[in-house]
A and B are shown apart, each in its own frame.
Chain A
Amino acid sequence: MEFSILTNYFGLYMEGFYGTVLSSVLALIGSFLIGAVIAVFRITTVRALRWFGTAYVEFIRNIPLLLVVYIFYYGPSALGFTLDGFKAGTIGLAVYTSAFIAEAIRAGIMAVPKGQMEASRSSGLSYIQTMLHIILPQAIKLVIPPLGNQFINLIKNSSVLTLVAGLDLMYFADSISTETYRTFDTYIFVALFYLVLTLPLSYGVRVWERRLQRKY
């Protein structure tokens, strides 16, 4: 393995790493917010919202991520503005992941036995109180693992930014590999950079999961 690639091009690697981290963090926050709202739509009793939530999830979840990103990259020019590769990629990533997160949150809430809701409602708690104090604390326990997996996927998926010149880790790695002609070595270091992000996350998710289990 050619370690000189890492040292010679460390600046480029770090620039890409920064892009990947920033895009992932922004997309993570965005996808969680959108996903939570869509999950609420999915379980609400208002039919129009439920219909919208279902349509959103089914549409986004069943098309390739690259296509979602292309829509935000090439699409806006028809409306008279542009989003650069980084913005279009990050928004696309957030929108795409939000569909999966909505499903994970919804599944978590649905997995809490119906009796819990009925029991607390008959004890005099309101719907909102029941949700906040009875259902959600139990749902979170179930939602953490799939949510964590979605966030890990999101970090890996952020490599689509390279296809719209989004200045992420893979984008700069492509430049490095065409300059050094050492394709394999270049990408091995890229893998290590991704692992630096994803391994602690998957470990953290497991720790958190265990802590929640102990509580109940």
Chain B
Amino acid sequence: MKMSKSFKMLSVLMIAAMLVIAGCGNNNAKNNAGGNDAAAGAATDSEAIAKIKERGKLLVGVKYDTRLFGLKDPASGNVEGFDIDVSKAIAKKILGDENAIELKEVTSKTRIPMLNNGEIDMVVATMTITEERKKEVDFSDVYFQAGQSLLVKKGSPITGLDDVTKDTKILGSKGATSIKNIKEKVPGVTVLEFDNYQDAFSALKAGQGDALTTDDAILYGMASQDPGYEVVGEPFTDEPYGIAVQKGNTDVVKAVNDTLAELKTNGEYDAIYTKWIGKAPAK
């Protein structure tokens, strides 16, 4: 008798605790959502460029952990990649010196807050242009056209999305939109989800699946890590990367767009692209 009574008490307490904790969780979520709206006031036109010129240095937020785009070499301490080369070209355009630049590390989470705080002038960090983000920042023209693609072991019978059937085992990362996309393109396909891309790539190497899917930009990085793997087929989704600046800084957007246009006409864009991605951009 005594046992069952304390058991009942315990159950009640446990459920009560859960409800309380669940309640707290909801409140936190609401608070966070509210915090994002408080974007810092943007500087007026031409002021932004003048500020950069006065400082004599362009502050750029880039990734430090993304192979091919922005990766800090642990040995030399240099940050290198496609995004860095594009940033240097922009510095050259605005300040006349490609080394008048200071790189700051951003992550997907920190880049918009840092930009709106004024800690950086722009974000060049594998950032996909979305309607949602356009409400928070201004975007340049597309500077890299990424798209979802497939990474396979060299010699795999899979040479593109058309070869993916219901019996194909696809590997991906939890929470990525790429999982949803592939399920829509190939209904009924088996998808195995991992905590991050490194685990998914390890699983591919261990023969646990036939192909790994996500943005080709990330896949090219993996292929460069292990030459036994290659990206196959044309991208089957649209992930346009843009350079973000504080909302209202139209003069900076214009300077960036002018730079991108110049790079494309003088062939330098193709050179940078080929240098990092290993092939010329698709026209």
Contacts and interface: CB of A to CB of B under 8 A. Distances in A.
B205 interface: yes
Contacts of A164: 203
B189 interface: no
B208 interface: yes
B7 A85 contact: no
A163 B199 CA distance: 9
A183 B174 CA distance: 13
Contact of A74 (B3, B22, B206): B206
Nearest to A202: B7
Interface in A1-54: 1
Contact of B194 (A1, A165, A178, A206): A165
A67 interface: no
Contacts of B23: 1
Nearest to A80: B207
A85 B174 contact: no
Interface string A172-216: 001100100001110010010000000000010010000000000
Interface residues of A, number: 22
Contact of B203 (A165, A175, A188, A191): A165
Contacts of B205: 77
A149 to B, nearest CB: 17
Interface centre among B192, B199, B203, B208 (most CB of A within 10 A): B208
Looking at chain A's contact residues, the main secondary structure is helix
Given A1-B22, A73-B208, A171 B3 contact: no
A174 B193 contact: yes
Interface residues of B, number: 23
A82 B208 contact: yes
A82 B22 contact: no
A185 B203 CA distance: 30
Given A85-B192, A165-B194, A185 B206 contact: no
B195 to A, nearest CB: 6
Contacts of A171: 193
Contacts of B175: 174, 178
Contact of A174 (B3, B18, B174): B174
A118 interface: no
Given A175-B174, A191-B18, A206-B3, A165 B207 contact: no
A82 to B, nearest CB: 5
A73 B206 contact: yes
A84 interface: yes
B195 A77 contact: no
Contacts of A77: 205-208
Nearest to B22: A1
B206 A82 contact: yes
A159 to B, nearest CB: 13
A3 to B, nearest CB: 11
A165 B172 CA distance: 10
B108 interface: no
A53 B127 CA distance: 55
A207 to B, nearest CB: 9
B25 interface: yes
B207 A82 contact: yes
A156 to B, nearest CB: 15
A198 to B, nearest CB: 12
A163 B7 CA distance: 33
B202 interface: yes
A84 B169 CA distance: 11
B273 to A, nearest CB: 32
A188 B24 CA distance: 13
Interface of B: 3, 7, 18-19, 21-23, 25-26, 171, 174-175, 192-195, 199, 202-203, 205-208
5 contacts: A74-B203, A165-B171, A174-B175, A185-B25, A203-B7
